[in-house]
Amino acid sequence: MTTTATLPLDPEKYREDFPILQTDIHTDKRLVYLDNAATTQRPKQVIQALVDTYEKHYANVHRGIHWLSDQSTDLFEEARKKVARLIRADRLHEVIFTTGTTSSINLVARSWGDANVGPNDTILLTEMEHHSNIVPWQQLSQRTGCQLEFIPITDDGLLDLSSMDQLLTERTKLVALTAVSNVLGTINPLSQLIRQAHDHGALVLIDAAQSVPHMDSNVQSLDADFFVFSGHKMMGPSGVGVLYGKEAILEKMPPFLGGGSMIRRVRLDGFEPADLPAKFEAGTPPIVPAIGLGAAIDYLESIGLSRIDQYERALVTYAHEQLEELGGIKFLGPAPEHKAGIVSFLVDGVHAHDVAQLLDRQGVAVRAGHHCAMPLHKRLGIGASSRASFYFYNTLNEVDVFVDALKKAQALFRRR
């Protein structure tokens, strides 16, 4: 039995920091926000960091020889230090600021991929990947002639690792996979997969968009070659993300975007790129979003990622229990002990879009559709699903509101 007394944290201590969670929608329904896998909400501390930067510190970074530029540069680079600390990166210049997970993966595909992958090579993905970790590799395949292969999943949403001996060969140049499925919630065995890939001489890219905001991350102990995530999924602003890469690999990669900041010197007949990390940060970087991300990291660390992880698992377990009692629900993905704070489901006789719309009338925000994972839905034999995704500011009572709203939706369709 899940009770407030047994939970690893008290969400009420933090909810007042999130103004949007105090919003009433449809006149009299308090917002229950359960779409955190898509994007999270921001606390006042992050919002204030953005305001303070624009009001007191903003200038372009690394370029101006004046006090304000120095202030802005210091705050921007302090944010890089916070990211490195969060993921346990060994060197600051291994942290590259991008605009998000998607741009980080595209950077690797365009820079490392174009320079290192040929027609006889393979890229190994999984059937549960987000489109952002499929399409850039499909584009690489179109440019280079390389082949894409996929680790299959079991019917209960776990990776079927029995096929790894056949899939991993001397032709495999890269294994790119998600740490946590944005649909199934499945937590993948990264350490095992990274070791296997390295044993075959392949590099590994981890899409950590759904893991970094919710659990401890350590790129050194994982031995990940590339590690990517987005700020907006961890209470930071949109428009900022991170690419971590091992120094030796990043040094050999050619610049992807050209222009200001990424050069050491330019001649009419060529250029010399700047040192890391500037080499991959062409143009004006996401200065204020990065500073806001730093504030979000401060907030997360003040709570503790391990406590957040434990709490979300308790919420998922409770949600499973309540939905099972409701009946007429089919869960996607593994049992709660094998997944993060995501519950995707089907309601008997009700389309996912109708589910989301009816829940919205009760003030409950969930996601409906293919969740940018169409191949996964095809593998599951469905066109769309509903998804409730949790964060540390969600409560047991909100789960109850969600389940009650779903019960009302079921009753409405039974009467039709």
Query: Could you read off the pLDDT of 8-30 as tens digits, one per residue?
Result: 999 999 999 999 999 999 989 99
CA 71 – CA 77 distance, rounded (Å): 10
Taking residues 102-127, report their average pLDDT: 98
Give the number of C-alpha atoms closer than 13 A to the C-alpha of residue 127, restricted to the C-beta side: 20
* pTM exceeding 0.75: yes
**For residue 286, pLDDT beyond 90:** yes
CA dihedral 395, 299, 101, 54 (to 10 degrees): 120
**Predicted confidence (pLDDT) per residue in 34-77, tens digit:** 999 999 999 999 999 999 999 999 999 998 889 999 999 999 99
- Other Cβ atoms within 10 Å of 384 Cβ, number: 17
Taking residues 219-243, report their average pLDDT: 98
Domain spanning 47-302: CATH 3.90.25.10: no
* pLDDT at residue number 413: 85
**For residue 416, pLDDT beyond 90:** no
Our answer to whether residue 372 is catalytic in this structure is yes
**For residue 5, pLDDT beyond 80:** no
* pLDDT at residue number 6: 84
Give the dihedral sign, CA 373/377/383/388. negative
Choose, from 161, 372, 374, 382, the residue flagged as catalytic: 372
Using N-to-C axis directions, what is the helix angle for 287-303 and 305-326, rounded to 10°?
Answer: 80
Residue 5 per-residue DSSP state: G
When pLDDT is cut at 50, 70 and 90, the band that residue 4 belongs to is: low
Domain spanning 4-30+304-415: CATH 3.90.1150.10: yes
* pLDDT at residue number 415: 63
Task: Give one DSSP letter per residue of 7-72, joined into a string.
Answer: SSS-THHHHTT-GGGG-EETTTEE-EE-BTTT-----HHHHHHHHHIIIII---TTT--SHHHHHH
**For residue 367, pLDDT beyond 60:** yes
pLDDT > 90 fraction of the chain, expressed in percent and rounded: 96
pLDDT > 70 fraction of the chain, expressed in percent and rounded: 98
Task: Extract the tokens encoding 175.
Answer: 């294994």
CA 10 – CA 188 distance, rounded (Å): 28
Q: Is residue 280 helix, strand or coil?
A: helix
Is 354:386 a contact under the CB 8 Å cutoff?
no
CATH 3.90.1150.10 range(s) for the chain read: 4-30+304-415
Which of 222, 293, 257 is closest to 103 using CA atoms? 257
**For residue 1, pLDDT beyond 90:** no
**For residue 203, pLDDT beyond 80:** yes
* pLDDT at residue number 3: 58
Beta bridge partners of 174: 123, 203
Residue 256 per-residue DSSP state: S
Give the residue ranges of DSSP H helices in 118-186. Answer: 135-144, 164-167
Residue 192 per-residue DSSP state: H
Average pLDDT of every residue of the chain: 96
CATH 3.40.640.10 range(s) for the chain read: 47-302
